Structure 1
């Protein structure tokens, strides 16, 4: 079950044009949970429906599952994204730099402060199978709803991947709020993948979402809170040349020689 503390998020809920069966009651249930209006589709195009409702984002219920339409590009739905390729590479014995940043030891708890599509949490859950407490935070409640749906319902041909998906719990809450309320040493690892200062333009999965996600800057105050909540380490994903790594120098900076991204490790103890 998705845990949500987010109230009205300035959006609407509807169904696909041929919505039938239980789609309407499911859409109404989501509208109630997210505290946003349910709107009958009435065969309107998404563009016209959006224009009629002040260009609000639209959560669409279809037979394929919930989708998010922002008005830019195609409607977003849950998919494994680059995680699929990373899992294949990991099984081949290739290095995944996020898994490397976690360290060789087993972990029992992991907090993903920027869940997004859930890709990084999935890689961690798959690689660290002893980790039973997997919490993923997403500040956009519509994206959180879709990601949570996928984690609960997507069935992979590899049962181990499906089991990894099911272990991840999504919370629709900003990480600033969650960290402030969390107790000391609540998680072995706390992880951040903030919006890059210099975007990687080759990331098509984010094209329709850019500008619609909760963009929180990573600051020294957030790092202090994260290190209070983490037992072992805080990991931040950014471009290797980012100002974050210049002003908050990590204990380790991991990534291939020609990698477009790097993982900064901030150790809490030792």
Structure 2
């Protein structure tokens, strides 16, 4: 039998509670569950039983593949949320003009960093939906967000396993205040090994003008696009980078919703 593309198992410290939690994760995402004996290594499973593995443990959910592993971390989003709570500005919140009660569609969930920041900016009365095409990344980030203690001042991030270009076409016009795209940078800087695992699973297709126009149809206010300062990605889409810090490697562009043109 060829290996399955993705499966779920437990960490080495196996108990009934953890087994049930891992089974629940497997059922939630329609994945096979592989029973693991105490202290049994999973390296021999990769490439034989499964191509990649979601490991559910006491310390969270981790994606394993033959060349490394990757686990969810709030990372910089946690720091950005702390600064936002302290009244400091956040670039995404500023460019998108996010306010309490807004709805945000994050078409490229990735690590979930900007969605986490948006969930605080729009507050408990707002709505944030994140789309992720890669099932493996979707499971890790969605389960990580589920376990993250966001606080009563933030809404939950609803994660959908979906191709953003196709999903946008199914949505009514003006159904979100802000539509956000953060395509994977074409020219990555040096990164930690865990991020290289993420890049191998992430969607690398560039944002197309057609998808941008669908985003404008779905948005009520803005479509916001994050790009890399060292590329011409924004210019190719007809966007001009916002006048922000010249020391940042990130460029931000936005275009008004179709209804406002």
TM-score by length of structure 2 reads 0.86
2:180 equivalent in structure 1: 191
Structure-2 change in CA distance of 1:117 and 1:99 (3 Å): same
| Higher RCO (CA < 8 A, seq sep 6+) | 1
**SS of residue paired to 2:114:** helix
Assess if the C-alpha contact under 8 Å between 2:224 and 2:254 holds in 1. Answer: yes
Q: Shift of the alpha carbon at 1:82?
A: 1.0
- Aligned pairs, number: 255
1:178 equivalent in structure 2: 167
Counterpart CA distance in 2 for 1:234 and 1:136 is: 15
1:50 equivalent in structure 2: 46
1:261 equivalent in structure 2: 250
Counterpart CA distance in 2 for 1:171 and 1:141 is: 9
Pairing of 1:48-197 with structure 2 (within 5 A): 48-53=44-49, 56-73=51-68, 75-103=69-97, 108-129=102-123, 132-155=126-149, 161-163=150-152, 166-197=155-186
Counterpart CA distance in 2 for 1:104 and 1:41 is: 45
Which residue of 223, 247, 254 maps to 2:212? 223
RMSD: 2.4
User: Cα deviation per residue 1:168-218 (whole Å; 9 max; x = unaligned)?
Assistant: 211111112210101111111000111001113246652321111233320
Q: Shift of the alpha carbon at 1:11?
A: 0.8
2:11 equivalent in structure 1: 16
Counterpart CA distance in 1 for 2:99 and 2:75 is: 27
Counterpart CA distance in 1 for 2:256 and 2:72 is: 33
Counterpart CA distance in 1 for 2:157 and 2:25 is: 20
Which residue of 242, 246, 263 maps to 2:231? 242
Counterpart CA distance in 1 for 2:98 and 2:7 is: 45
TM-score by length of structure 1 reads 0.84
Q: Shift of the alpha carbon at 1:31?
A: 2.7
Structure-2 change in CA distance of 1:162 and 1:105 (3 Å): closer
| More moved, 222-231 vs 138-147 | 138-147
Counterpart CA distance in 1 for 2:246 and 2:124 is: 30
Counterpart CA distance in 2 for 1:125 and 1:27 is: 27
Structure-2 change in CA distance of 1:64 and 1:104 (3 Å): closer
Counterpart CA distance in 1 for 2:146 and 2:47 is: 32
